[in-house]
Amino acid sequence: MLCSRREFLRRAGTVTLAGTLLLEEMADSAWSRSPGARPNIIFIFADDHASEAISAYGSYLKDYARTPNIDRLAREGMLFRNCLCNNSICSPSRASVLTGQYSHKNGVRGLNGTINESSPWFSAELQKAGYQTAVVGKWHLKSWPKGFDRFWVTKGQGRYFNPTFYTKPDGGKVSETGYSTDVYADYALRWLRQRDTEKPFLLCLHFKAPHHPYDYAQRYGKLLEGVKIPEPPNLYEDIAKTSPRLKNGRGQVMEDKSRNGYYSRHVKDKVPPMPPHNANNRKARVAAAYQHMMLKYIRCITANDEAVGRVLDFLDDNNLSDNTIVVYTADQGYWLGQHGLYDKRLILEESLRMPLLVRYPGVVEAGSVSDKITMNNDFGPTFLDYSGAPIPRAMQGVSLRPLLEGKPPADWRTDAFYCYWSKPSHWGVRTERYTLAHFPRTDEFEFYDNQNDPWQMVNQANNPAYAEAVTDCEQRLARLVREIDFSPGDYPGA
């Protein structure tokens, strides 16, 4: 087995200064050439885990949604504050991660989509390059995993308890007992223990949690019991006035008038005590729904954090931490009551922004933060870059390597394209300061100044003071359309 640079120097023994320099040079060249030095990659992919519910992000929930193990990745690596998805919904984001492409290119615009045959997969490229590869957990695509030596994936949403894994395209399956996050981590660790230690590996560990209905492991049943969880400042926003089109496009409001006693079509359990619906107690209903949702959500993500801790402990115990890139992210953000919403789908911040934490000791500076705009289709190019494998030209994302290594290029992207095809269909651009959303069917706009209005409460689309900024965003959108080859037939209103 090829040794690491550090081991190479240690084994070389005591030498003179000149000899040390020579040896360091030799070690450097052995390091860069050695297949053993190619980093392992562990990609941990949660479902709907908002960055507000990761304590390292320091949000108003940081003392309640405590994630000490995920926080370790921030403390020992880099935290990204502006990682954005190009289409804020489960299957499309998964397809963009795997292919490095926007939804209109990989073919997955909505739920349960199939990835185009012509699209590249980073897993297949790593496999070709000699990586051993495995994926465990939620999959939520119609395409079978490609480029994975082994897979244990659930179908559709999968179940929170007693998951069934599909292991072969021809229908091989295995049913397990236990809480999904725990079982997925068990499988991931077992595969790591059984792997060929002579080859680098890619492990994708995809949690179902904390997707609604936020079912948690029984052992967390007392967590935060009786504690009042802080509310976001825009929990009681009246979106019928502020943004009936965007924020109420799919009825993802916490105060659901159609279901007295429930707060959503997704969370089926009753919310005690849920006041009856009438014009005078909307606030009380939203407050009750919020506390109920957050309690379940935080209990749910606690198991994600625990599983991350098990993976990091395994790396430490097996001397793998230094040569393994560990990533924690989620397929999109999630509304935790902001604008009175739950769920995702919108170009607005808490839905658009994905958590992203990357640890790679010795390469990524511990405790570093990047505010640059990064995207879910950058992950594949990044992994391929570090593995030394070629990045297929069809991948549209960009390797994050220069950001991870503290050298952001002067021409790094300053805007991101977004398109959501289902209701409410909209597309737009998010720059370092502004968000522009366009509704092609009615040709209406919403525009937010995220610097002066970080909670995105005031639509400035028709404010003359912002006319220049709106025009700039329209021009950026026109440029992005050309850059990513978004054709007239791809428009959400087409």
Q: How far is the CB of 406 from Ca ion (least distance, A)?
A: 31
Residue (136 or 403) nearer to Ca ion, CB? 136
Minimum distance of Ca ion from residue 142's CB (angstroms) = 16
Report in angstroms how near the CB of residue 211 gets to Ca ion at its nearest: 6
Of 90, 217, 300, 481, which lies in the binding site for Ca ion, with binding defined by CB under 5 A? 90
C-beta of residue 185 within 8 angstroms of C-beta of residue 238: no
Cβ count near 93 (within 10 Å): 26
Answer yes or no whether residue 71 interacts with Ca ion by CB under 5 A.
Answer: no
- In the region spanning residues 192 to 211, those forming contacts with Ca ion, defined by CB under 5 A, are none
| Cα–Cα distance for residue pair 350/214, rounded to 1 Å | 18
Which range touches Ca ion (CB under 5 A), out of 54-62, 86-94, 119-127, 232-240?
86-94
Stretch that binds Ca ion, among 4-12, 42-50, 236-244, 477-485 (CB under 5 A): 42-50
- Under rule CB under 5 A, residue 48 binds Ca ion: yes
Span from 43-51, 119-127, 318-326, 452-460 in contact with Ca ion (CB under 5 A): 43-51
CA separation for the pair 58, 76 (Å, rounded): 16
Amino acid at 288: A
For 424-447, b/e burial (b = at least 16 CB within 10 A) is bbbbbbbbeebbbbbbeeeeebbb
Does residue 47 interact with Ca ion by CB under 5 A?
yes
Question: Helix 282-317 vs helix 68-76: angle between axes, to the nearest 10 degrees?
Answer: 60
Residue 446 interacts with Ca ion (CB under 5 A): yes or no: no
Residue 384 CB burial class (10 angstroms; 0-12, 13-18, ≥19) = buried
Residue 57 or 360: the one with the smaller Cβ distance to Ca ion is 57
Query: Of the ranges 32-40, 84-92, 143-151, 285-293, which one interacts with Ca ion (CB under 5 A)?
Result: 84-92
Letters for 295-334 (x = contact with Ca ion by CB under 5 A, - = none) are ------------------------------------x---
Measured from the CB atom, is 38 or 344 closer to Ca ion? 344
Residue 452, judged by CB atoms within 10 A of its CB (0-12, 13-18, 19+), counts as: exposed
Pick the closest to residue 103 from 484, 95, 348, 145 (CA basis). 95
Tell me if 343 contacts Ca ion by CB under 5 A.
no
Per the omega criterion (within 30 degrees of 0), is the bond before 275 cis? no
Site mask, Ca ion, residues 237-256, x = CB under 5 A? --------------------
The contact pattern for Ca ion, residues 354-373, with x = CB under 5 A and - = no contact, is: --------------------
SS3 assignment, position 79: strand
Q: Bin 130: left if φ > 0, else alpha if -120 < ψ < 50, else beta.
A: left
Residue nearest to Ca ion (CB): 90
In the complex, the smallest distance separating the C-beta of residue 460 from Ca ion, rounded to whole angstroms, is 29
Strand order in the sheet with 444-449: 415-420, 426-431, 434-439, 444-449
Interface positions with Ca ion (CB under 5 A): 47-48, 90, 331
